[in-house]
Amino acid sequence: MSATATRTRLRVVLCTHLHQPLYRDAGSGRQVLPWAYLHALQEYADLTHHLEIATSGTAVLNLSPVLLEQLDDYGAALSRALRGGPPPQDPVLALLTPAGRPLDSAAWPPLLRAVLDSAPPRIANRFPPYQRLLEMAQQALANGTSHWLSPGFLRDLAAWHHLAWCGESAQADERVAGLIAHGLSQGPVVPARFGEEDLRLLLEVVTDVVVGLVPRWRRLLGTGRIELSASPWGHPLLPAMLGSVAELPDLYPGGPGRAKWHLARAQQAFVESFGVRARGGWLPGGAVCAKSLAALGGFGQAWTLTGEEVIRDSLKAGAAGAVFSSRIPARAWRVAGVPGVVFARHSALSSLATHYAGWDAARAATNFVEHLARVAREHADDPNAVVAVVLGGDRADWPDGGFAFVSHLLARLAEREDVELTTFSAVLAEPDCQAELSQLVPGSWESGGFASWARGPERQSAWRALCGAKAAFDQAMVEGTLDDAEQARAELQLAACEAADFPWWLGEERPAQARAAFGALFLAHLRHLYRLLDEPVPGEVEALASMLPPAPEAAVRE
């Protein structure tokens, strides 16, 4: 009798996606947005801590190679700064160093704005002294009186900003705990509370966390506690490159070649970090098509993830008029004639965590597991069932970023006898768990299709600008105007432009600040590509610029 015939536990794959687009301005080398290292300091470090101390089970972490490269860049910059070298190119991180805090107060307004822009409410509310400093910075900018602030104020703001961004696991570090206790010991805000030695100690903590992440993931991978997978290098929308998104106005020139470039560089970066090739790959928004599945398979990535809506649409399309059941089997899906397997994210379970803000963490974890138990009962008659649950990294409404919730959740799951935590690759080792689709309808888990990727004039204009930039790059390659080194720089810059993140964050339904920040960075990437090609910036790029909110002073400068 086969193992699957006697299985009584529902296999569940817990997975999450760690990604930040390229925030570095290629012209100056400056990190214009600090999200890569700030999220590493908090959510990424906390998640890693949970996986290290869990008594049982496993999980899947998908990493974007462009994030891995940014973490490596940050680690090198931090190490140099600790050895007495120049401050990091990230102006927010550089505030922890004496040279990163200019003596001339006329240079302070962009730094104050950069801190304010990277202090969402949950971060800003963590410590009363930090709240007061942010209020003072906001008031000084509004009144044009930032020159009245003292160097001690800037030190305190830098210290509290990074202490507030330290995750719960980092705050357990006695160095961080001591700094927080020192900062809270004097009641209301007192100027010059933190000295240079305190900021140096905090810089060491940030360095330890950021530099330590990849080795920690490597150890977890080696012990079998996690499976690691990789997105294509720049996190592009692969189906759009491959011509499978009908909603977009133009075909992407030479898309298949660019898809291969991103996949090849992704595997290269993954092997450099972990010594093995990634066996699976996560595409933005679970966006898939048969061509993207085949492209992943061509680089050894045997699985990807999409939405239930895509599987439902594919089953309907393959039914050819036959009666179609509304219940979608929880399976690993093979597509006829295409190497590789598609898993479907369980939509209801994956969206649950976003509804628990304000709940007690233990109660929220218990409620989540009760929902999962119902799913297990629904599939009790199917020994081949596998359910994929995406735990998103964005738990912005939790005071602790969801740390206690994840801790309770993993503990509850370890007690269950009706579920078994596994990985996608482990499921692939059991062929009985796979079912076949006669065809794969292109789509994503954003309502099943691609409409949200192309909705509105800003996204349409962004796609046209990207297609135009690729056409200009191709023309330069044909004309042979660049030497090998120049061509390599231009190709990498094109890859930065191709990230799905930038047009995805445009659109009038988005907050103006996010549209401005991501739009400014996308425009800077495009303009720098044209400079590398020694070509004028075309009108379609400026047309996009005219649609976007004005970028803050702290954003990308040309």
Residue 394 has pLDDT above 60, yes or no: no
Task: Give the residue among 344, 350, 351 at the shortest CA–CA distance from 312.
Answer: 344
Tokens representing 254 are 């030479």
> What is the pLDDT, as a whole number, of residue 130?
95
> What is the pLDDT, as a whole number, of residue 507?
81
Residue 26 has pLDDT above 90, yes or no: no
* Residues 361-372: tens digit of each pLDDT: 999 999 999 999
Q: In 449-511, where does DSSP find H-type helix? A: 451-454, 456-479, 484-497, 501-504
Cα–Cα distances (Å) from 175 to 94, 179, 180, in that order, read 20, 6, 9
Over the chain, what is the mean pLDDT? 90
Which of 75-89, 199-213, 502-516 bottoms out in mean pLDDT, i.e. has the lowest? 502-516
* Residues 67-104: tens digit of each pLDDT: 999 999 999 999 999 999 999 999 999 999 999 999 88
* Residues 132-183: tens digit of each pLDDT: 999 999 999 999 998 888 899 999 999 999 999 999 999 999 999 999 999 9
Paired sense of beta strands 10-18 and 386-390, if any: parallel
| CA–CA distance, 427 with 433 (Å, rounded to integer) | 7
Tokens representing 521 are 């960075």
Confidence of residue 208 (pLDDT cuts 50, 70, 90): very high
Residue owning tokens 């898939």? 288
Cα–Cα distances (Å) from 272 to 44, 175, 212, 275, 549, in that order, read 20, 32, 15, 6, 39
Residue 375 has pLDDT above 60, yes or no: yes
Residue 321 has pLDDT above 60, yes or no: no
- Burial label for 352, CB within 10 Å (0-12, 13-18, 19+), is middle
Task: Give the residue among 40, 44, 124 at the shortest CA–CA distance from 78.
Answer: 40
H or E element at residue 306? strand 303-307
Residue owning tokens 């503990």? 411
CB 385 within 8 A of CB 332: no
* Residues 399-423: tens digit of each pLDDT: 788 899 999 999 999 999 999 999 9
Residue owning tokens 């990437």? 525
Residue 65 has pLDDT above 60, yes or no: yes
Which phi and psi (to 5°) does residue 139 adopt?
-65, -40
Average pLDDT on 514-533 reads: 92
Task: Give the residue among 72, 93, 42 at the shortest CA–CA distance from 211.
Answer: 72
Cα–Cα distances (Å) from 273 to 69, 218, 265, 425, in that order, read 9, 8, 12, 19
> What is the pLDDT, as a whole number, of residue 494?
97
- Establish how many alpha carbons lie within 13 A of residue 45's alpha carbon, considering only the half-sphere containing its beta carbon: 26
| CA–CA distance, 221 with 83 (Å, rounded to integer) | 31
Residue 203 has pLDDT above 70, yes or no: yes
Q: What is the share, in percent, of the chain residues with pLDDT greater than 90? A: 73
Tokens representing 12 are 């569940």
Domains of the chain: residue spans and CATH: 3-19+231-437 (3.20.110.20), 78-211 (no CATH), 451-547 (1.20.1430)
